[in-house]
Structure 1
Amino acid sequence: MVRRWGLAWGAAFAAVLIAGTLFAHPGLREDVFGDSAVLLLISWLPMAIGGVMAWGLVQAFGRREELDRRIVAAMDGHPLYRELGWMVLLLAGFVVSMVLLSMLFAFYGAETGIAPDLAMSVALVSRLLFLFAIPLLLLDRSGITVDGKGTAMPSIALKAVEPWRWLGLIPVAVSVGLIGYLILPHIGLPAPSLALYAMLVAFAVIAGCEEIFFRGMMQTRLELLLGRWGGIMVTSVVFAVTYALIQPYDAVSQLPGHDLVHDTGLALLTYGAASLLYGYLWACFRNTWINILMRVVMFVLILPPDLQVGISR
C-alpha cells in the first residue's frame, strides 16, 4: 500500500509546498506568473525531452527489471527506516556545517562577504563530510562487512559494465544541448583558464557527493518503500528544499537569495524539476557517472554570479 501511494503522497507534498510558498510570497507569484514563466517552461522542456528519451531507450534496449532485482538484493538486510533517519540527521548536519563554516570564513574574509574561493571551500568540505564520508560509514559501512553487503550498492552504481547502462548519455547530451542552445546566446561560455579547470574539479566533487547521497543512497531506499516514482518525487523535494536552506551560504547555488519562502518555492520549480530527471536517469540506468556528468555540465552552463571566471561570447 505504501508503494502504491508513494507517488501520490510525494506529488501532494510537493504541490502543498509550492502552493504554500506562492500564497505566502507575492514576489514569488510575480516571478512565476510574470516574465519568468516563459523561462521556467523553457527550462522544463529539455528535462522533459530527456526523460522521454530515457524511457524509450530503457524500453527498447534496457534490462531494468534485472537491474532492479540486483538493487533489491543489495539492500537486503539494510534497516531502511533507520538509515533514512540517519540521512535526515546528516542533512541537518550538512546545513549547520554550511552555516558555521560560512560564519567562520566570513570572520576572516573580506568585509563585504565571503570570497569565492573560501565559499567554495565551505561547499566542498561540508559536502565531502556530510554527504559522502559519514554516509558511507553509516550506510554502506565502507564495504567492511563480514557478508560483503556493504560493497554491493557501490559496485552497482560505479561499475556499469553493461553497455545499455551507458545509453543514458544520449538523453543527457540532448537535454544539456537544448539548454545550452537556449541560454548560451544570452550568457556566453566561461573562457578557458586555470580557475575554470579548478572549478570543474570542484563541481565534479560536489556533483559526486550529491548524486551518491541523494540518488544512490536516499532515492534507492525510498524507491523500495514508496515505489519508483514515489522515491523520485520525495527525493526531488528534499533536494530542492536543501538547496533553498543553504542558499545564503553556498557558492554554487543559483537561487536569487530573497528569503527562505521565496527561495523554497523557486527551488522546487527549478532544482526540484531538474531533480526529477536526475532521479529518473538513476532509476533507469543506476549509473552514477551519467548523473555526475550531467550535473557538472549544468554547473558550467549556469555558473553562479560570484564564480564567474570570464565569459567568452
Structure 2
Amino acid sequence: MRRWVLVGGLAVLVGAAVVLVVTGNTDVRYTSDSDSTQPMWARWIPVAAGLLLTRVLPWRVERGSDGAPDQRQAWILTGLAVAFAVLLNLLGLGMFEVLKLLLLLLVPLAVFRWLGGKPTKTWPATVRWAPALPVAAFLLLSYVGPLAAPVADRPELSGVQVALALVGGFLINSVLEEIFYRRWLQTRWEQLLGPWPAILISSIAWAVWHVALQGRGELGIDLASVLVNQGVQGLFLGYLWSRYRRMWPLITVHGAVNAVPVFLSLA
C-alpha cells in the first residue's frame, strides 16, 4: 500500500499541473482575500528551496514514540478531512467556522478519547531552532524579490476589524489546520505508511477544501489549482513536521501565507 499511495499521490499533483498547462490556466490564486493570481511555478520555487534546505541541513529529530499505529484513527481522520471539504462546498462559507471546529477539532478529540488518546512526541532541544533557515528561505522567496506575490486588494475594513480578523484567522486557520492535518492526520499515516506517503495524504487532504475558498466555479480547474498551490506547499509543511516534529515552523509558515498578503495590501 505504501508504494501505491506514494505513486498515486505524486500522480495527483503532477496530473493537476498537466491539466492547468493543457487548459491554459497556469496562473493560480494565491490568497482568498484577492482575485490576484501568480504563475504556479512561482509558487513552487520557495517550496523547492525549503525542501532542499530541510533535507541537506544536518539537524533532525531523534525519533521518539508516536504511539502504536492505529489504522482506525488514520481512516477516521481522513474521513473527517473529506467530509470537511465536501460539506464546505455544499453548505457554503457561512458554515466555515462551525464545520472546521466540529470536524477538525471536536470530533477528533472525541475519537482520541474513545480510541485511546493522542500519540506522544519527543522534541529534543538540539533541533529547537533548526527549521529557522528553511522557514526564512521560504518566506523570503515568497514575499521578497522577483518571485514575490503581487500585492492583494486592500481590505475594506477598519484597522481594528483587520486585526481581529488576522488573530481569529491565525487561530482557526494556521493553528487548528496544522494541528489537524499535520500533527494528527499525517502522524497517524506515518505510523502506518512512512513519511512521504503520509505527507502526500495530508497535503492533498489539506489542499482540496480550499476549492470552497478560492474556487471560481469550474470544479476541475479549481481542484487542479489548489493542488498545485496548497498541495505543493503542503509538501514543505509536511516535511518540516516529519523532519523536526515541531509546530512553530508550520504555524509560522502557514500564518505568514495567510497574513502577509493582507499586511502588504495595507502598506
Compute the TM-score of the two structures, normalised by the length of structure 1: 0.70
Q: Is the 8 A contact 2:82 2:205 kept in 1?
A: no
Q: CA deviation at 1:216?
A: 1.2
Amino acid corresponding to residue 166 of structure 2 in structure 1: L
What stretches of structure 1 of length at least 5 have no aligned partner? 103-118, 248-252, 304-308
- Whether 1:79 aligns to 2:70 is yes
How many aligned positions are there?
256
2:217 is paired with a residue whose SS is coil
Give the match for residue 255 of structure 2: 296
Cα distance in 1 for residues equivalent to 2:37 and 2:44: 11
Q: Is the 8 A contact 1:160 1:166 kept in 2?
A: no
- Whether 1:47 aligns to 2:41 is no
Deviations 1:65-84 (A, max 9, x none): x32xx2xx3331x431x223
Cα distance in 2 for residues equivalent to 1:187 and 1:86: 37
**CA 98–40 in structure 1, closer or farther in 2 if over 3 Å, else same:** closer
**CA 30–94 in structure 1, closer or farther in 2 if over 3 Å, else same:** same
Structure 1 vs Structure 2 CA RMSD: 3.3
Cα distance in 2 for residues equivalent to 1:259 and 1:13: 18
Cα distance in 2 for residues equivalent to 1:136 and 1:22: 38
Q: Is the 8 A contact 2:80 2:103 kept in 1?
A: yes
Q: CA deviation at 1:22?
A: 4.7
Cα distance in 1 for residues equivalent to 2:234 and 2:77: 18
| % identity of equivalent residues | 27
**CA 221–22 in structure 1, closer or farther in 2 if over 3 Å, else same:** same
Deviations 1:209-238 (A, max 9, x none): 211111112211222333211211222222
**CA 184–134 in structure 1, closer or farther in 2 if over 3 Å, else same:** same
Q: CA deviation at 1:94?
A: 2.2
Amino acid corresponding to residue 287 of structure 1 in structure 2: R
**CA 7–126 in structure 1, closer or farther in 2 if over 3 Å, else same:** same
Amino acid corresponding to residue 26 of structure 2 in structure 1: V
Q: Is the 8 A contact 1:166 1:285 kept in 2?
A: no
Higher share in helix = 1
1:61 is paired with a residue whose SS is coil
Cα distance in 2 for residues equivalent to 1:267 and 1:281: 20
1:75 is paired with a residue whose SS is coil
Give the match for residue 108 of structure 2: 135
Give the match for residue 107 of structure 1: none
Deviations 1:121-143 (A, max 9, x none): 733222121111211220x328x
Amino acid corresponding to residue 74 of structure 2 in structure 1: L
Deviations 1:239-290 (A, max 9, x none): 222222xx1xxxxx3x242311110011111111111111111111111222
Q: CA deviation at 1:196?
A: 2.3
Q: Following superposition of structure 1 onto structure 2, how do residues 10-159 of structure 1 map, counting pairs within 5 Å?
A: 10-16=9-15, 18-19=17-18, 21-22=19-20, 29-32=23-26, 39-57=39-57, 60-62=58-60, 64=61, 66-67=62-63, 70=64, 73-76=65-68, 78-80=69-71, 82-95=72-85, 97-98=87-88, 102=92, 119=93, 122-138=95-111, 140-141=112-113, 150-153=117-120, 156=121
**Structure with larger Rg:** 1
Q: Is the 8 A contact 2:81 2:205 kept in 1?
A: no
**CA 178–92 in structure 1, closer or farther in 2 if over 3 Å, else same:** closer
Q: CA deviation at 1:16?
A: 4.3
Cα distance in 2 for residues equivalent to 1:256 and 1:137: 32
Amino acid corresponding to residue 84 of structure 1 in structure 2: A
Amino acid corresponding to residue 216 of structure 1 in structure 2: R
2:131 to 168, 180, 188: 168
Cα distance in 2 for residues equivalent to 1:240 and 1:222: 17
